[in-house]
Amino acid sequence: MDTATADPSVAGDGAGRTGRRRRFGARCAGLLFAGVSVVVGCRAAGTDGVTPVPQLLAFLPWLLVPTAVGLLFTLFARRWTGAVWGVVLLGLLAWFIEPYGKTGDPAGPPVAELRVLTSNVEFGQATGALIDAVRREGPDVVFVQECEYTCDAALRRELAGAYPHRRAVEGGGSEGSVLLSRFPLRAAAGVPGTMGMPGAVADVDGHAVRLQLAHPMPPLPGQVDLWRRELGRLRDAAAADRDTPTVLAGDFNASQDHAAFRRVLDTGLRDAARLAGADRTPTWPARTAPAFGAQIDHVLVSDDFAATRARFLDLPDTDHRTLVVDLTLHEAT
């Protein structure tokens, strides 16, 4: 009787291929986990680190994707230590994705309502769309970033009747900024920066409200220290007067996963989008939002305010989404 025997060279070659694939999968998982671990480690340590960590921190929730892929690689490779590493990273990411900062409604009675709009018009390119949005939405206060000379002139020409009060820092390109208001404004120092960050004190139905536009430099490679320094100036401005109701709004070039931005929130300010149930809604880049992006445009308010509604508008010709929030000012107790 004939007997069939397996060719040991064929069996060995198949086992070798499987082993090589598993080792390759384990190496891929290790690279993915190492990169994610650096970013998560900086987040846990409360530091923004150096390039490319600040840039990656803006997209921290999306690091769930490479972590999950790495976990699949480790399961295929049967590297159980690596699997534990991946599970720990997933847990830490889930923990840090939770919204940061204080919440809660003010204790005092409501005394005034106001609607705030903030928009980065990308070198003035979206000025026309912004004017249409302002007329449609009817905000009481408008914060405009990257409003260069022609944008500034268009806002004066088209909106001066509805918004007779303004503060502005004139400039070309991204340097110009404008603050428009239906309420009377008193001059305030503003915050020094590479791009304009004007400030004012508004008389909102007899109540003084500090208004401060935010537009620090982005954390570009080689400019992370400048970005951190200008966010620090915004933090100092927020902490300078905690007795006056405050609205600090604009393009912060930072998300809640940046330590420099969390220090601004630690002054007692709260993110109005979070109060209205819209935390982590991406505002940049507009081309991929809301499916993918980071929330770097914010309206921050002191605990004198409640936020009842937040909406994100998609305007053409700008890489940022426009944010509109409805606020209620409450009497201090």
Counting the structural domains of the chain, the total is 2
CATH of the domain at 119: 3.60.10.10
Q: Is residue 2 part of a domain?
A: no
Q: What is the mean pLDDT of residues 159-185?
A: 97
Same domain assignment for residues 163 and 91? no
User: How many whole angstroms separate alpha carbon 323 and alpha carbon 63?
Assistant: 25
Q: Which residue among 97, 121, 136 closes a domain?
A: 97
% of the chain residues with pLDDT over 70:
95
What is the arrangement of strands in the sheet containing 270-271, beginning at the earlier edge strand?
185-188, 199-204, 207-214, 246-251, 297-301, 270-271
User: How many whole angstroms separate alpha carbon 161 and alpha carbon 271?
Assistant: 30
pLDDT of 19-49, one tens digit each?
787 788 789 999 999 999 999 999 999 999 9
Q: Is residue 1 part of a domain?
A: no
Tokens of 216: 């620090």
155 vs 20: which has the higher pLDDT? 155
Q: Is 250 helix (H, G, I), strand (E, B) or coil?
A: strand
* pLDDT confidence of residue 1: 45
Same domain assignment for residues 315 and 249? yes
Q: Is residue 282 part of a domain?
A: yes
- For β-strands 322-330 and 165-169, DSSP reports them as unpaired
Same domain assignment for residues 47 and 182? no
- For β-strands 177-181 and 141-145, DSSP reports them as antiparallel
Residues 6+ apart with CB under 8 A from 170: 149, 152, 176, 196
Cα 67 to chain centroid distance, Å, stands at: 22
Compute φ and ψ for 128, nearest 5 degrees: -60, -45
Print the domain residue range for 56: 8-97
Same domain assignment for residues 40 and 173? no
Q: How does DSSP classify residue 134?
A: H
Q: Is residue 104 part of a domain?
A: no
Task: Find out whether 323 and 299 touch, Cβ atoms under 8 Å.
Answer: yes
Beta bridge partners of 183: none
pLDDT of 76-134, one tens digit each?
877 788 899 999 999 999 999 999 988 888 989 999 999 999 999 999 999 999 999 99
pLDDT of 287-312, one tens digit each?
999 999 999 999 999 999 999 999 99
Tokens of 296: 């770097």
Q: Which residue among 69, 97, 125 closes a domain?
A: 97
